[in-house]
Amino acid sequence: MNRSAGFLSALYLATSTGLAWTAVIALRQGPPWAACLFAAAALVPVIAVVRESVLGDQRRALAEIRRPAVCPGGSGAGAADDIVRAELDTACCERWWTSCGTDHDSTCPRRVPRSSAA
């Protein structure tokens, strides 16, 4: 995690702590709905911290994939090609692509017959 992500995570956790403390105060002295509202709001910054850590992990993984791919003939030279090939292999047919996955060609082996029975 770089400095800006660490700073954001610390800020998110401080905000979450403040909102949790406000929820405790609202539970003691205010209406119960306000305590529930502040408790729910205290979870949002925690989700942001998790998101920052996931984004950092993805950036590191992408850097590891790109590093060997830059050197031709290296051990990871075809890593990007393998990823693209795997993604294209999971696709079905031309009509599936153009209909955003809602329809299949008549010759597509993954075609599921539609029925009106619910």
Q: Write the pLDDT tens digit of every residue in 43-90.
A: 999 998 888 888 888 888 888 877 765 555 555 557 677 777 777 666
Of the candidates 82, 106, 81, 84, the one whose C-alpha atom is nearest the C-alpha of residue 96 is 106
Q: Which two tokens stand for residue 113?
A: 């017959």
| pLDDT (tens digit per residue) in 4-17 | 888 888 899 999 99
| pLDDT (tens digit per residue) in 14-44 | 999 999 999 999 999 989 999 999 999 999 9
CB–CB of 77/69 below 8 Å? Answer: yes
pTM of the predicted protein model: 0.50
* pLDDT value at 116 more than 70: no
Say which DSSP state 17 is in.
H
* Per-residue pLDDT, 100: 73
Of the candidates 11, 10, 15, the one whose C-alpha atom is nearest the C-alpha of residue 38 is 15
Q: What is the 3-state secondary structure (H, E, C) of 34-78?
A: HHHHHHHHHHHHHHHHHHHHHHHHHHHHHHHHHHHHHCCCCCCCC
